[in-house]
Structure 1
């Protein structure tokens, strides 16, 4: 763990910790052990990885819907699927950033935590908030961009004409 021996922690992130040894000497190192990490940090790491995978799937579904599919109904369903994946991805990123910030703030204002043990959120937390909000808004736009009413009919289906015949009257 970076810190201790008179250094002040500067940033604590999901993957590494950075400390300041002198006014312009910053040292960053990955965490020493996976077993020493707090539960909130492990959960935030897992949610971030899940969000990254869902984001890649959302981009794939969105590109497939926009570029590869000609049928408007299938294109619309792929667009909505990409939007839902982006919504979930955005919620996971906002949850991760908020959870990490909350844990860091709790320790920062705790009088029982030593001064050299106080953590501060890194710049990536603010990037995560912005990315989560952008993914959430993008997901909303994709979900609401597709309308179910379409004037385009597939080749095998034609618009119904008014050639309905009245049923013949039967005498019993």
Structure 2
């Protein structure tokens, strides 16, 4: 019984991880303009993601546009796109395989390979997680290196992640 509960918890955690990977793939907030130096007061915040670039104006208007061509993109962005999509697809496949192999399901009930099916689903989840982790770490490393590069002007530097609104107090 503890094994069944552990399998259910692991499946729920993996589904949450897949939703997080899908969200990270879609969102444009992979890098956001840094407000440093003479760029402290600005009316526009620029954001770059895997699929589009966005601008958020001080009026609250949020405007996005997709990249014009896949071939114009740098190779690291193309690879990050591919790896994130493969990670999500592999997660969906892993969910299907894992559900078949779980002890609480009736699929392949008396089959001697039921445990191996569940193990295969788990291994595929690990591979999907690594496939999602690599482009995130790779892209963030590039953002950090460019941020600390003294040859890049302050208004062209980007930071990691979602910018929080400044509090009024």
> 1:19, 1:26 within 8 Å by CA — same for their partners in 2?
yes
Q: Does 1:99 align with 2:138?
A: yes
Q: Name which one, 1 or 2, has greater alpha-carbon Rg.
A: 1
Q: Does 1:115 align with 2:154?
A: yes
Q: Does 1:70 align with 2:109?
A: yes
Which residue is 2:70 aligned to?
Answer: 34
Unmatched tracts of structure 2, length 5 or more: 1-32, 34-41, 163-169
Distance (whole Å) between structure 1 residues aligned to residue 44 and residue 122 of structure 2: 42
1:46 corresponds, among 64, 73, 82, to 82
CA offsets 1:46-101 (integer angstroms, 9 cap, x no match): 11111112111101101112321112531100110000000101111111211111
Alignment RMSD, CA only?
2.3
> 1:12, 1:122 within 8 Å by CA — same for their partners in 2?
no
Residues 20, 121 of structure 1: alpha-carbon distance in 2 compared, 3 angstrom cutoff: same
Matches within 5 A, 1:1-172: 9-22=45-58, 24-66=60-102, 67=105, 68-71=107-110, 73-123=112-162
Task: Give the number of equivalent residue pairs.
Answer: 119
State the shift of 1:9 in Å: 4.7
Residues 51, 13 of structure 1: alpha-carbon distance in 2 compared, 3 angstrom cutoff: same
Distance (whole Å) between structure 1 residues aligned to residue 155 and residue 65 of structure 2: 17
Distance (whole Å) between structure 1 residues aligned to residue 45 and residue 157 of structure 2: 7
Unmatched tracts of structure 1, length 5 or more: 124-172
